[in-house]
Amino acid sequence: MPTPAHISLIEEGYHLLPTADATPAQSDRWLGQVRSLLDSLTAGEAPEGLLPADIPDLIEAYDLLHRVRCGYPCDAYLRRLRLALADRWLRADRWLRGPNPLTKTDIVLQLLAEVDRDILTLPRRYTDFALHTLSTWITDLLRHGRFTDLHHDRFADLQETQLTEAYARLIHLLPADLFAFIPPAEEPHQKRRWTAAYLPTEPAAFPAPASPVPSLSAPAASSAAARLQRRRAAFLRTARLCGCLPPAAKAKQENSINYVR
Q: Are residues 98 and 125 in the same domain?
A: no
Q: Which of 61, 80, 102 is the last residue of a domain?
A: 102
pLDDT-based confidence at residue 77 (cuts at 50, 70, 90): very high
Q: Are residues 65 and 194 in the same domain?
A: no
- Nearest-Å Rg of the Cα atoms of the chain is 18
Q: What is the pTM of this model?
A: 0.86
Q: Which of 63, 81, 102 is the last residue of a domain?
A: 102
The mean-pLDDT minimum among 68-72, 75-79, 115-119, 244-248 falls in 244-248
Give the range of the structural domain holding residue 134, as residue numbers without chain letter.
111-261
Q: Are residues 136 and 241 in the same domain?
A: yes
Q: Which of 102, 128, 143 is the last residue of a domain?
A: 102
- What's the number of domains the chain is made of? 2
Q: Which of 4, 126, 6 is nearest to 62 (CA)?
A: 6
Q: Are residues 253 and 157 in the same domain?
A: yes
Q: Are residues 124 and 244 in the same domain?
A: yes
Q: Are residues 55 and 38 in the same domain?
A: yes
Q: Are residues 126 and 228 in the same domain?
A: yes
* pLDDT value for 127: 98
Question: 223 near 53, Cβ under 8 Å?
Answer: yes
Buried b or exposed e, range 111-126, using 16+ CB within 10 angstroms: bbbbeeeeeeebeeeb
Given a cut of 60, whether residue 170 has pLDDT beyond it is yes
Q: Are residues 183 and 61 in the same domain?
A: no
Q: Are residues 120 and 231 in the same domain?
A: yes
CB atoms within 10 A of CB 75: 13
Burial of 128 from C-beta contacts in 10 A (0-12 / 13-18 / 19+): exposed
Q: Are residues 60 and 83 in the same domain?
A: yes
